[in-house]
Structure 1
Amino acid sequence: MIQIGCTSFKEHTFLTGKKETSLFEYAAHFPLVEMDTSFYAIPKQAYVKEWLKQVPEAFQFIMKLPKVFTKHEELTGDTSLTELAAELLESVRPMVEQDHLFCLLAQFPPFFDCKRENVDYLRKLRQLFPATPIAIELRNNSWYDPSLVEQTRDFMQEQNFSLVIVDEPKKLSTTIPFDDYVTNPEFIFFRFHGRNDVGWNATGPDAKRLRTNYRYDNDELTELKEAVTNAQKQGKKVAVIFNNNAGGDAAENALQFKDLLQLDFENLNPSQLDLF
């Protein structure tokens, strides 16, 4: 089963013509969303319950791990990672109980390279969330060095991680390759960031806007379709997230990709509320 969605639900003007789209409106078009707000703070369970009220029965959430778990921020204060993991799991418990959680996403920063210390940390991360599906996105290409990539894949399989299959700029020496190796057949995760070679390494307040400002053309989507179709043969379920929304292209590209794959998403929300 292939499910397609976008990062966040609010900023997809293409779907509604409005500056902000509600989760209910978004779920009339897609069966899957990646929630990035959890990267900045563990959501209150009350918010999680409200999200669940707005989506149909089969809708799935990908929850991004808070940045303290992925080395973007140092742990401070008296609270341990173990306590924070318990807090997060309690927060998303209704999502798990109602079978709405596709996975947690651990997106590591570019400085998280392939060395013993970081391999050990990934083992610790699995211990923190022993029974939860976790997808790992790596942004340092040392993990994909020809001398290490097989070990990287084997390690991900051993830890029951799904190594995210990432599409990002192709012409930069710092980016990771498009490696469609499946490390966990239980769930497979593709994340499409676009191929903005110029903006990918931007810094400053406009960095995020520049990095993902990209529109996939039909040839590129057809190329990606082949990889997703092949992956589907190797696993139970496949998630495809379009993260190229800086220019407002993610939702339209996602719907184009749906049509290329000839998918028909059933049991979505109605496109508008009935008047009677």
Structure 2
Amino acid sequence: MIAIGCTSFKEHTYLTGKKETSLFEYAASFPLVEMDTSFYAIPKLDYVKGWLNQVPASFQFIMKLPKVFTMHEELTGENTLSELAEQFLKSLRPMIDTGHLFCLLAQFPPFFDCKRENVDYLRKLRQLFPATPIAVELRNNTWYDAGLLKQTRAFMKEQGFSLVIVDEPKKLTTTIPLDEYVTNPDFVFLRFHGRNDVGWNATGPDAKRLRTNYRYNKEELENLRDIVTKVKKQSENISVIFNNNAGGDAAENALQFKDLLQLDFENLNPSQLDLF
């Protein structure tokens, strides 16, 4: 199965014409969402239960690991990483038990380069979440160097990680390549950020808005479709997330991509038109 969705459910004015879209409304168009709220804080159990009450039985969530697990923030306070991992999994338990969790996403920062201590940390991350599917997204291209790529792939396979297949800007020397190699055939995650070469390395308060401000054209979507078609030969469980929402383009691009793949999402929520 190929599922397509977007990062967050609120920001997609294209779907409803409203400034904020509810999860129920979003789930009338897509069977999948990436939740980035968990990057900033472990979600409360009541929030998770509330999300599940708004989606159909087949809907899937990709939950971003809290930033303390991906070195975006130093560990502070009394809790150890192991204790925080237990808290996170406890909050997600209803999602896991009902089969709504597609995977956890571990998105590492650009300074997380390919060196021994970081390889060891990835082993530790697997130990923290031994039975949970984890997709790893790397932002430092040393992992993809010609002399290291084979080892990177083998390590991800060994640890049971699904190395995220990422589409990023193409003209920068710092971005990672679109590597269609599948490290875990049990599940594959493709994440499309757009190709904003100018805004990708932006810093400051507007960085997030500038980085993913991009609209894919038809030729680019067709190229990405061909990659998904190749990947499908290696796995029957594929999720695609459009993260190019800074300019409001993700939902429309995602629906265009669905049409290119000739997909028909079944068992979605009813749309407003379906209610009457």
CA distance in 2, matches of 1:135, 1:6: 16
1:236 Cα deviation after fit: 2.5
1:274 Cα deviation after fit: 6.7
Conservation of the 8 A alpha-carbon contact between 2:11 and 2:21: yes
Going from structure 1 to structure 2, the CA distance change for 1:274 and 1:214 (only over 3 Å counts) comes to closer
CA distance in 1, matches of 2:250, 2:275: 30
Matched residue count:
276
Q: What SS is found at the alignment partner of 1:92?
A: helix
Q: Gapped runs of 5+ residues in structure 1?
A: none
- Which residue does the alignment assign to 1:32? 32
Conservation of the 8 A alpha-carbon contact between 2:194 and 2:243: yes
Q: What SS is found at the alignment partner of 1:104?
A: strand
1:119 Cα deviation after fit: 0.1
CA distance in 1, matches of 2:269, 2:232: 25
Regions of 4+ moved over 2 Å: 273-276
Q: What SS is found at the alignment partner of 2:57?
A: coil
Q: Aligned AA for 1:131?
A: A
Post-superposition Cα deviations, 1:72-129, rounded to whole Å, max 9, x if no partner, equal 0000111000000000000000001100000000000000000000000000000000
Q: Aligned AA for 2:125?
A: L
- Which residue does the alignment assign to 1:263? 263
Q: What SS is found at the alignment partner of 1:10?
A: coil
Q: Gapped runs of 5+ residues in structure 2?
A: none
TM-score by length of 2: 0.99
- Which residue does the alignment assign to 2:229? 229
CA distance in 2, matches of 1:98, 1:142: 38
Q: Aligned AA for 2:50?
A: E
Is residue 130 of structure 1 aligned with residue 130 of structure 2?
yes
CA distance in 1, matches of 2:77, 2:195: 39
CA distance in 2, matches of 1:96, 1:174: 36
Going from structure 1 to structure 2, the CA distance change for 1:274 and 1:238 (only over 3 Å counts) comes to closer
Post-superposition Cα deviations, 1:160-191, rounded to whole Å, max 9, x if no partner, equal 00000000000000000000100000000000
- Which residue does the alignment assign to 2:81? 81
CA distance in 2, matches of 1:8, 1:108: 19
1:233 Cα deviation after fit: 1.1
TM-score by length of 1: 0.99
- Which residue does the alignment assign to 1:184? 184
CA distance in 1, matches of 2:206, 2:103: 29
Conservation of the 8 A alpha-carbon contact between 2:2 and 2:236: no
CA distance in 1, matches of 2:235, 2:111: 31
CA distance in 2, matches of 1:126, 1:6: 26
Cα RMSD of the aligned pairs, angstroms, is 0.9
CA distance in 2, matches of 1:212, 1:140: 18
Q: What SS is found at the alignment partner of 1:262?
A: coil
Q: What SS is found at the alignment partner of 2:50?
A: helix
Q: What SS is found at the alignment partner of 2:210?
A: helix
CA distance in 2, matches of 1:215, 1:109: 24
Post-superposition Cα deviations, 1:142-177, rounded to whole Å, max 9, x if no partner, equal 000000000000000000000000000000000000
- Which residue does the alignment assign to 2:7? 7
Q: Aligned AA for 1:121?
A: Y
- Which residue does the alignment assign to 2:69? 69
Going from structure 1 to structure 2, the CA distance change for 1:175 and 1:100 (only over 3 Å counts) comes to same
Q: Aligned AA for 2:218?
A: N
- Which residue does the alignment assign to 1:22? 22
Identical-pair percentage: 80
